[in-house]
Amino acid sequence: MKDKLVLLGLFFGLFFVACDDVEEDPNPPSPVVPKTTVITPDFDAQMAYDFIQKQVDFGPRVPGSQAHRDCGNWLVEQLKAYGAEVLTQEAQVMAFDGTYLPMKNIIAQYQPDNKRRILLYAHWDTRPFADKDSVRTKEPIDGANDGGSGVGVLLEVARQIQQKQPDYGIDIIFFDTEDYGRPEWLPADGDPSDWCLGSQYWARNRHKPNYRAKFGVLLDMVGAKDAVFNREGTSVALAPGVVDKVWKTAQTLGYDTLFVDEVTGQTIDDNYFVNMGAGIPSANIVHYHVSGPRPMGYGFFHHTHADNMSIIDTTVLKAVGQTVMEVIYQE
């Protein structure tokens, strides 16, 4: 037994001497850190549909109307209920005819101290006249798709963010007085500043000094049954990288029949003023035909009384909402 102990002692002594002679690597390899898999929550299209229905139930949200005031108050309270820090911008803005309109931009902030930010936005007002219709042209429209759909999708995004925060701080803005531009029965004057009065105001008076976001996504007319989302021309010209990000995400998710790669002409929408006035590269997800059975342009419902709940499709809402969710959670 004693001999065995001596032999064991010699063995371990030699082992430790040998170990002492091994030189340490002055540049050891960095440890491999496994990539964290972020699971994007499931977007509930029925909730988005219900949010659109609620807006339509107020009536046409024409600036200055009781429906506009009531819906605006509801939007503020809904965003607060979903955990956002909410503020509003209220001002008088001048319409195409020289009249002044009460404007209310509604801004919801998630993780307001996070310097890395993404901006999501839509307009919540509705057209004060059905100037592309053949009947009741001087009456306001329901705006289920043009106004209601983008807001409905973003309310569901807000509800999901409350339950699971992405890595980026998210700002959701509902711009007002977007759709009060010059009607069809007046001669065009080529002045794009008739439109998007709320986003123009915000671009000049951002809710935080020197506010910046890495990029923005506008949702406009994103719920109709026959929707097609071509790459909008102004977005391609001013924010091609953001367009690529959004469209490739949608196509990877299997929504390539909705998000297609044809490019529209350049349009004037809120993203134009956010890009040009605030310097935030933004893509516009908007229903606009380039080719196919319908003539080029916005859907048949555009600025008519056909823009009601009968055209809203939950499968389209799902495609848009899930794409936006994937973009913000995987950034």
Q: What does the pLDDT read at residue 296?
A: 82
CB contact at 8 A, 305 and 247: no
Confidence (pTM) = 0.89
| pLDDT tens over the chain, length 331 residues | 444 333 334 333 433 334 444 455 556 665 655 556 889 999 999 999 999 999 999 999 999 999 999 999 999 999 999 999 999 999 999 999 999 999 999 999 999 999 999 999 999 999 999 999 999 999 999 999 999 999 999 999 999 999 999 999 999 999 999 999 999 999 988 899 999 999 999 999 999 999 999 999 999 999 999 999 999 999 999 999 999 999 999 999 999 999 999 999 999 999 999 999 999 999 999 999 998 777 789 999 999 999 999 999 999 999 999 999 999 999 9
Q: What does the pLDDT read at residue 329?
A: 98
Q: What is the dihedral of CA 300, 305, 311, 316, to 10 degrees?
A: 70
Alpha helices in the chain (DSSP H): 2-21, 45-58, 66-81, 150-163, 197-204, 233-238, 240-252, 270-278, 314-330
Are β-strands 117-123 and 215-220 bridged in parallel, bridged antiparallel, or unpaired?
parallel
Q: What does the pLDDT read at residue 190?
A: 86
Rounded to an integer, what distance in angstroms lies between the CA atom of residue 164 and that of residue 170? 12
Amino acid letter, residue 52: I
Q: Which domains does the chain have, with CATH numbers?
A: 53-330 (3.40.630.10)
Rounded to an integer, what distance in angstroms lies between the CA atom of residue 79 and that of residue 154? 10
Q: What does the pLDDT read at residue 15?
A: 36
The burial of 170, by beta-carbon neighbours within 10 Å (0-12 exposed, 13-18 middle, 19 or more buried), is given as buried
CB contact at 8 A, 125 and 61: yes
Rounded to an integer, what distance in angstroms lies between the CA atom of residue 234 and that of residue 226? 22
DSSP state of 144: I
Residue 111 neighbours by CB under 8 Å, 6+ apart: 165, 168, 169, 170
Q: What does the pLDDT read at residue 103?
A: 98
The burial of 4, by beta-carbon neighbours within 10 Å (0-12 exposed, 13-18 middle, 19 or more buried), is given as exposed
Q: What does the pLDDT read at residue 7?
A: 38
